[in-house]
Homo-oligomer: A and B are copies of this chain.
């Protein structure tokens, strides 16, 4: 006899409330990206977002809930940015444009920070089941986006039928993650460049006209 149809029992947010909530998430995301989740205190977030403790706990019942919001924020940012390059990949040039997008970000950031999702993944995967599950979904979505791009190339016969978009998409994503980690540790774009270029070269071996 649940009279409440609403699944969530969250209080409604006013426009102002939404803005404050978003401000908190963005501040938390930046800080956690720079210092890690454990290295970011609620007080840090308060200061950066210019909110009081009661505000923060009004919108998020505990730190873990804020972390979950940060995960979904970072996920949608990444998926959004990358899908601009990955949707309807119509040529190898388009694939290389995606590569350049990734590499350029690293260079612009002096190779600091790594992948926002990868960093969260590594820190939380073994200690927070819920976080792992969310991050896993995000990676799957990301992989899917790459796979669809490759499938598009295959359908356009840029790639021959020996190319397996499932395997190649997953391999590309792993190369990307590993490349970003090494680039971050080395403070040199070399690893992400080599990782992506090697995979792209491999994909090129499935060119139709070869």
A residues at B contact (CB < 8 Å): 34-36, 38-39, 112-114, 118-119, 121-123, 125-127, 132, 135-136, 139-140, 167-168, 170-171, 173-179, 181-182, 184-187, 190-192, 194-195, 197-199, 201-202, 205
Q: Determine which of B123, B136, B140, B194 lies in contact with A123 in the assembled complex, contact meaning CB atoms within 8 Å.
A: B123
22 A-B residue contacts at CB 8 Å? A36-B123, A112-B126, A114-B122, A119-B122, A121-B184, A123-B123, A126-B184, A132-B185, A132-B187, A139-B185, A167-B197, A168-B198, A170-B191, A170-B195, A173-B182, A174-B181, A174-B194, A175-B175, A175-B195, A177-B178, A181-B181, A201-B202
Find out whether the CB atom of A118 lies under 8 angstroms from the CB atom of B39: no
Closest 5 CB pairs of A and B: A178-B178, A174-B178, A38-B38, A177-B178, A122-B122
Q: Known contacts A36-B127, A202-B198; is A191 also within 8 Å of B174 by CB?
A: yes
**Which residues of chain B are near A135, meaning CB under 8 Å?**
185
Q: Is the CB of A181 within 8 A of B127?
A: no
Contacting residue for A170 out of B114, B167, B168, B190, CB 8 A: B190
CA distance A136 to B127 in the complex (A): 25
In contact, A194 and B167 (Cβ under 8 angstroms): yes
The reply to whether B171 and A195 contact each other, CB–CB distance below 8 Å, is yes
Min CB–CB distance A145 → chain B (angstroms): 15
Chain B residue nearest to A133 (CB atoms) is B185
Residues of B within 8 A of A186 (CB): 136, 139-140
Kindly list chain B residues whose C-beta atoms are within 8 Å of the C-beta of A198.
167-168, 171, 199, 202
